[in-house]
Chains A and B, each alone.
Chain A
Amino acid sequence: MNRALVIAEHSLGKLNASTAKCVSCVQGIGEVEIDIAVLAADAGALAAEAAALGGVRRVLTLERPENVEALAAVWAPQLAALAGGYTHLFGPSTTFGKDLMPRIAALLGVGQISDVMAVDSAYRFRRPVYASNAIITVEAPAGSIVVATVRTASFQPAAGGGQAPIEALAVTATLPTHTRFVSRSAANADRPDLQTAARVVSGGRALASAENFKLLYQLADALGAAVGASRAAVDAGYAANELQVGQTGKIIAPQLYMALGISGAIQHLTGIKDARTIVAVNKDSEAPIFEVADIGLVGDLFTIVPELERLIRARQ
């Protein structure tokens, strides 16, 4: 029997959707008992959320004041101490999991499989390399713990309806004080989250200014969509870094992705390959974005975007 431990990601007192997707990925390995580890200063509500996920055997909480922020150097020794007896240790391939999981793997003396996009068996997985220009099948050695990060865009969240028991644990681990949290800029909380939104409206360099990005926000509001941006738009200062979609930004899989004034560099396309419907609006009919778009429109986005917003609002 495989035994898997999923590391819960959370912020502002809520479980991140990545946790349910990690559970769903782990369920793909077949016969498996799944535990979720919740590290926090106060794990109460988080543990209850995790316990409600379907297919979870138990939720383990590690409550200490030092766990208030997810500092890899602080969390990794505790999770390494907890890892004994598990065959699989999984976390999300978000900046949280990408920061934390390799630190745990090294403490356990094993390698890590990054960005699992498909599960072939308990020890065989598929993952993207070369900015998703190739997919490799990898095999971890049986007999040692498999540490992996999960590409959340590739998995549906696990169903709810679970009633797993919650157990408070204490592990003996010396926690370092050499790493200290200072601050975090508040992301725009009154909009859908880019990583999990069903609809995303994204802008590129052609927007030409941060001011013009407001056009996108208005269309996004009409659609109930999150806003994204290409690397070029972020580098030019038109949009905040956390809005970047693509290989080095966020990899997303919305129902609808609208690429407005985005030429479609390979690094950007990597981030949207799993979107169900891709719409491209660009004045350059040769732009590579049209090669992957389900619906393409060649034209001036400064007239098309407001017109589209007007038509959508007229329907409502």
Chain B
Amino acid sequence: MRSFFKNLVGQKILMAVSGLFMTLFLTAHLLGNMTIYTGGLNAYAEQLHALVPLVWISRISMLTLLLLHIYFAIKLTLENRDAKPVGYAVSKNIRSTFASRNMIWSGLAVAIFIIYHLLHLTVPAASGSVSLDSMGRPDISGMVVEGFQGGLVAVIYLVSLLGLLLHIIHGIQSSFQSLGLSGEDAAPVIHRAGIIVALVLSAGFLSIPLIIFVGIVKG
């Protein structure tokens, strides 16, 4: 197995698998978040916390995948830059996109955002320092609405989620190619589907701070 991690195709496959699992997590996370619109966020949070061992398994596996993804991202980026030490006086990009060429930077934005987001919402919620709602449950919904009141917070989330969009708009469809799942007929379909999934996920996440900021959802 050691040689698998040393091979450049092996490393790409690792990037793809870890990326896709994190996208699955994003999907589950978004579905959970959507309960804020039905007023069921507190109930969802309470039920999630009843599954503490599962929550911790998920956290630890996500952290492991994230660290692997970051480690190989930096390694591959440095190796790839070394493979192209001199550029062209006149350069032209035909098929590559702004997103595909800036994965390391959009990835950095997402990584910084994850730390901020955990400190902003996850740590207060997990540490039990949240006031209780009328039914005696931790008032996660109220905490979220309060957390998104400031304009600066809304801007931070807006910029970070655009970074996430940039990252997964290339990442999702690219993962399928790295796993060898995009044949000649499937490739254009997978390409478009990957972009649509990326747009839907980003729009879903983005809607929460924006709508709270505008004041439609109230605690």
Our verdict on whether A and B bind, yes or no, reads: no
**Which positions in B face A, CB cutoff 8 Å?**
none
